[in-house]
Amino acid sequence: MKIALIQINPVIGDFPANSRKIVERVDEARDRGCRLAILPELVLPGYPPQDLLERDSFLADHDQALARLMAELPDIDVLFGSIVRREGGKGKRLYNSAVAVRGGRIVFRADKRLLPSYDVFDETRYFASGAMPGLYRVDDLCFAVTVCEDVWQHEIGEYRTQPVDELFAAAAARGETIDAVINISASPFQRNKEQTRKAIFAEICRTCQVPFLYANQVGGQDSLLFDGRSHALDRDGRTICQALGWSEDLVVVDSADWRGEKHAPAAVEELASVYDGLVMGVRDYVRKCGFSAVVLGLSGGIDSALTAAIAAAALGPENVLGVAMPSVYSAEESLADARLLSQHLGCRFEVIPIKGLFDTFQQTLAPLFAGRPEDLTEQNLQARIRGNLLMALSNKFGRLLLTTGNKSEMAVGYCTLYGDMSGGLAVISDVPKQLVYELAGYVNREREIIPTRTIVRAPTAELKADQRDQDDLPPYEILDQILEMHLEKGLSLADIVAQGFDEAMVRDILRRIRINEYKRKQAPMGLKVTSKAFGYGRRYPNVQNYRE
């Protein structure tokens, strides 16, 4: 039997467009001789629909779309993710389900059993946990069907139910044989997740001695990046079929010898994957939100340079406007590097000096500021002048404003509310500074795009004379290590100090993280590439007095 693994890029709530993509790809699978087509979790409504699931109109439109889709699908089996109403009783009224359609009707259903409620996931808010399903039969093959989290039971370690183990135990008790495990997913990307993902799947293959078929969503949805990479493994856990990352794709695996197409290498090059994910994330966020072009400030620094390079790759350089806004503190080489970057990218470049505006602000405030020395106030004024100018360009020309701050800065509050934090999408807000340098090197892998001087110069905000980031912050190579230990690994002050870091420095960094929570709550949405990003996956109070 030929089986198609199909990954599409849905738009949440766009039932007509999602249905068209499903039908087109299933038609292709049928034309290629496939008996079964498998698509991702909640592929019809898109994932995650969040509180749309609480709207009766959304659910009614979903049900109508499902009925139309079933009537339009060709005459092969199609297994895909859908919302299913839960009948009767108290509790949540919906299931997150895998349904198999054959001949215009549902012939099999498996409701998701493990509902994640950690990090960015909140499925217990909407869905009821399903009961153990039966087995899905197609011709002479028998499949165990799982939905996303159902195969992560051992990795997460917080679930009492073990869906895969229980499916095999129940089949053995009935004297039935399972020929393969199917998992439909909407599994978001993060650095190094692919190797963990495949290790989990391979362990299931080796333990149960069955092949494993995995169909994953692709595309950007708000801050989440779905990498696709649908694939199949043989009973020894070896990759036998592999779809592309970051792109819609269809690959075919044949159960006769459990061999399939490989559109991409099984191994993932992590740096390239982060870059490709950010490019896809910008493209999808901008276009799915109804924009076609962007604007951003170009300071001559590495953060804005990387953001501009990603935007140009995502949207085409003709849709990127870079604006330099020099002040009296801006070095000549900063303006020169910003101009050179724009030339290398081929994007439009404009210069708007802010000295006159800054002078006006200072003169206006002088009576109230009399007798007080200059401090962060004057630095922030410059950042807010720039933010206002960029927002004016965004409004006037309908361009989405991209912010350029990195994760290291966001963590410790080295950014200005209503200044450099103004915008619609924070492209690299989950990219630590050291990774920014690595990605800049990746951008320049074939030719110089980001000027070399931009990469090698000491980073500076240029908001006062002779300013350097390292005047206010520890070296980024140290700061990033501490941030990763605290934010991603959850280590305490004592744990980090025990790793050999200066206690006073660690205490100050953790203090900065704590007191700047209010800033991050007001920041634009960012693209998630690490295991713990700022945004709705991080739920810390602004007002709290806990000290580690």
On the 0-12 / 13-18 / 19+ scale of CB atoms within 10 A, 369 is middle
Q: Binding residue per annotation — 187?
A: yes
Q: Binding residue per annotation — 52?
A: no
Q: Pairing between strand 94-102 and 77-85?
A: antiparallel
DSSP 63-84: HHHHHHHHHHS-SSEEEEEEEE
Q: Binding residue per annotation — 423?
A: no
Q: Binding residue per annotation — 413?
A: no
Per-residue DSSP letter, 330: -
Q: Binding residue per annotation — 57?
A: no
Q: Binding residue per annotation — 302?
A: yes
Contact at 8 Å (CB) between 338 and 326?
A: no
End-to-end CA distance of the chain: 58
- φ/ψ region of 114 (left if φ > 0, alpha if ψ in -120 to 50, else beta) reads beta
**34 is a catalytic site residue:** no
Q: Binding residue per annotation — 519?
A: yes
Catalytic residue, candidates 21, 34, 112, 415: 112
Per-residue DSSP letter, 36: E
Question: What is the C-alpha separation between 292 and 356, in angstroms, rounded?
Answer: 32
Place of tokens 């110069």: 457
Question: What is the C-alpha separation between 182 and 151, in angstroms, rounded?
Answer: 10
Reading the block at residue 247, the tokens are 């792109």
Catalytic residue, candidates 41, 149, 194, 462: 41
**Segment holding 214, helix H or strand E:** strand 212-216
Per-residue DSSP letter, 130: P
- Our separate counts of H helices and E strands in the chain read 18, 20
**462 is a catalytic site residue:** no
**Segment holding 486, helix H or strand E:** none
Q: Binding residue per annotation — 380?
A: yes
Question: What is the C-alpha separation between 205 and 301, in angstroms, rounded?
Answer: 48
Q: Binding residue per annotation — 104?
A: no
Classified as helix, coil or strand, 282 is helix
On the 0-12 / 13-18 / 19+ scale of CB atoms within 10 A, 209 is exposed
**288 is a catalytic site residue:** no
**Where do runs of H (alpha helix) occur along 398-429?**
407-412
Q: Binding residue per annotation — 542?
A: no
Q: Binding residue per annotation — 545?
A: no
Catalytic residue, candidates 21, 34, 123, 148: 148
* Known binding positions: 118, 187, 193, 297-304, 380, 404, 409, 519
* Known binding positions for ATP: 297-304, 404
* Known binding positions for deamido-NAD(+): 380, 409, 519
Q: Tell me which residues are annotated as active site.
A: 41, 112, 148
* Known binding positions for L-glutamine: 118, 187, 193
